Chain A
Amino acid sequence: MIEPMQQDILRSLAALCELAPGVRFGQLIANLGFLAEDMADRTLWDIEDAELLQVIERHRADLSKRQPNDA
């Protein structure tokens, strides 16, 4: 049984992958760790699920603001 918050995280990760198709999944996770430290002052190890979801959604919002096919 996956907790609802973690289900939300997985869904958000999938949406993030769609916005960054050229980014390797490990690279995406590493970058999320970087953004988590910048935004929440926590490593991926320490960050609470709700905070991680906020980081992912913030990153998703950044990528969503891009014009499609810019890169």
Chain B
Amino acid sequence: MHKTREEPGGQRTLSGGANRFLQVAAPSILPTMPPDFREVDPNDLRVPPSRSTGADPAKLQRQIAQFGASVVGMPPLWVYEAADGVLVVYDGVTRATRITKLAPGTLVRVEVIGKLRRAYSKSTKIGDLLP
């Protein structure tokens, strides 16, 4: 855990050394991990709270018109893995919704880009938000 100090007024700040480490050294010395790709049913992916209403309808219609039910050439979705193992979409809510709607049961490729501290199994699934 990084050291913090209490500033007048109650604001907590990082100590100088920890701050510099985070900004300059850490990103460059962190080992490059092998990518964590998985094939999953997009129906079960959770939406982040900021997209709790699901995909933007206009954007979804544009993607449906352009790509239909195809997953060919579709970039992997970016997801975070929650403490309880469920995957929360970071980027790709529209793609996940399109495949769930037009090709239910089709697996899509996701890349797990990090871990979450909390459990999210009670959060809304992509499949719960189909238009």
Q: A residues engaging B (CB < 8 A)?
A: 5, 8, 11-12, 15, 20, 22-23, 27, 30-31, 33-35, 37-39, 48-51, 53-54, 57-67, 70-71
Contacts and interface: CB of A to CB of B under 8 A. Distances in A.
A39 B34 CA distance: 24
A66 B35 contact: yes
Interface of B: 2, 4, 11-14, 19, 22-23, 26-28, 30-35, 37, 48-51, 75-76, 78, 80, 88, 90-91, 111, 113-114, 116-118
Contacts of B22: 53-54, 57
Contacts of A62: 113-114
B49 A71 contact: no
